[in-house]
Amino acid sequence: MRIFLDTAMIDEIREVARWGILSGITTNPTLMSKNAGKTHEDVIREIASIVDGPISAETISLDTDGMVTEGRRFAAWHPNVVVKVPSTPNGWAAVKRLADEGIRTNVTLCFSANQALFAALAGAYIISPFVGRLDDISEDGMQVVRDTVEIYRQHHLPTLVLAASIRHPLHIIAAAQAGADIATVPFKVLEQAAKHPLTDKGIETFLKDWEKFSHEQR
C-alpha cells in the first residue's frame, strides 16, 4: 500500500517527502483554502515540483461540462495531476469523458461500494472511500474499503482504491490489511504513526551507553 499525504501545505509536503515514504498528494477545497494569497495553480505546480507522483486537484462544478472544463485546465498544469470529481451521476459522466481524453480522475466523497463500482465502470483511475466520515455517523467506514477491494478484484476492475478520511494511525494499518492500494493521511496522523516512545527511549539509552564506552577507551 502506498502512502499519500492529505494536505495542501507545502511545509508538510516537504517534510514527509524527506522521509522517503511519500508517493502522492490529495487536496480538496477545504485543504486548499489554508493557502491564502496563492492560486490553485500555484499550489498544485509547487507540489508537483516536490513530489513525483499523482497529485489530486478537486473540481468545484456541480455539472458535468463544468467538471470536464476544470479537469482539462488542471491536467494542463502538470502530467501528474489527477482530477477529483464527486461521487454523483454528473461526476461519473465527467470521469468517462475525461478518461476518453486520457485524463486521470479520482472519484471522491465515496460512501458506498455501489458508488465505488459505478466510478470504476466509468473509468476512474482512483476511488476514494471516506472512512472517518462514515465512522463519525456510527458506520464502519473501513467496510466500504474492504467491499470495494473485493468487488474490484473479483471483476478485474483496474481502479485504485484509496482509503481517505483517515483519522488515526490504526486506520492506516486497517487500510493496508483491507488491501487498499493507497491511504491518504493527514500530516498529524502520519506524525503520530511515525513516533514510538520505545524508539526514542532506545536511542537515548544507546547514546548514553556509547558515551560511557567511548569515555572508558580514552
Specify the residue, 125 or 130, whose C-beta has the smaller distance to ligand E4P.
130
Which residues are paired to 4 by β-bridges? 24, 184
Residues 6+ apart with CB under 8 A from 31: 6, 7, 8, 9
Q: Residue 142 CB, nearest distance to ligand E4P (Å)?
A: 14
Residue type, 37: G
* CB atoms near residue 159 (< 10 Å): 23
Specify the residue, 81 or 198, whose C-beta has the smaller distance to ligand E4P.
81
Cα(161)–Cα(185) distance, rounded to whole angstroms?
14
Cα(4)–Cα(13) distance, rounded to whole angstroms?
10
Q: Residue 68 CB, nearest distance to ligand E4P (Å)?
A: 20
Q: Residue 119 CB, nearest distance to ligand E4P (Å)?
A: 13
Q: Buried (b) or exposed (e) across 92-128, using 16+ Cβ within 10 A? A: bbbbbbbeeeebbbbbbbbbebebbbbbbebbbbbbb
Residues that bind ligand E4P (CB under 6 A): 6, 26, 28, 108, 128, 130, 132-133, 164-165, 184
Cα(159)–Cα(182) distance, rounded to whole angstroms?
11
Specify the residue, 138 or 214, whose C-beta has the smaller distance to ligand E4P.
138
Q: Residue 150 CB, nearest distance to ligand E4P (Å)?
A: 21
Q: Residue 57 CB, nearest distance to ligand E4P (Å)?
A: 11
* Cell numbers standing for residue 214: 567511548
Cβ–Cβ under 8 Å, residues 60 and 70:
yes
Residues 6+ apart with CB under 8 A from 72: 98, 101, 103
> Which residues are known catalytic residues?
84
Specify the residue, 118 or 130, whose C-beta has the smaller distance to ligand E4P.
130
Specify the residue, 96 or 133, whose C-beta has the smaller distance to ligand E4P.
133
